[in-house]
Amino acid sequence: MNFVIWIIQGLVALGFVYSGWLKAFQYETAKKSWGWVKDVSKGFVVFIGLAELVGALGVILPQALDIAPVLTPIAATGLAVVVLLGALFHIKRKEYRDIGVNIVFFALAVFVAICRF
């Protein structure tokens, strides 16, 4: 089971590294990829990206290095909250086709959080 949890942690981390990197360091690309980026401030988009990158590191490193491994489920919980808020934002904007990715990453992050707590 531990192997499966590690695979899911890796998928969560990869997804959030990709998303976070675009938001934090490739703002123009993010603007072209996601319509909502045009409607919020650049600072807010960068903030979300940095939070996702820190969360991605937190999902892997504490558990892998066995240094404060309790931070791994905390990071997974934080990422689940970010994704849930993103889904609510998309619902508010009636961007229903964008919610599928949110649901998948929410479920994965919650799975990691539950298994690692």
pLDDT for the residue 97: 87
pLDDT above 90 for 115: yes
Q: What digits encode the pLDDT tens for the residues 69-104? A: 999 999 999 999 999 999 999 999 998 888 999 999
Q: What is the pLDDT of residues 32-54, one digit of tens each?
A: 988 899 999 999 999 999 999 99
Q: Break the chain into its structural domains and give their ranges.
A: 2-116
pLDDT the model gives residue 98: 83
Q: State both tokens at 70.
A: 């309790």
Cα–Cα distances in angstroms (integers) from residue 84 to residues 13, 43, 54, 69, in the given order: 16, 20, 17, 24
pLDDT at residue 114, as a whole number? 97
DSSP helix/strand/coil, 98: helix
DSSP state for residue 62 in the 8-state scheme: H
Three-state DSSP at 101 gives helix
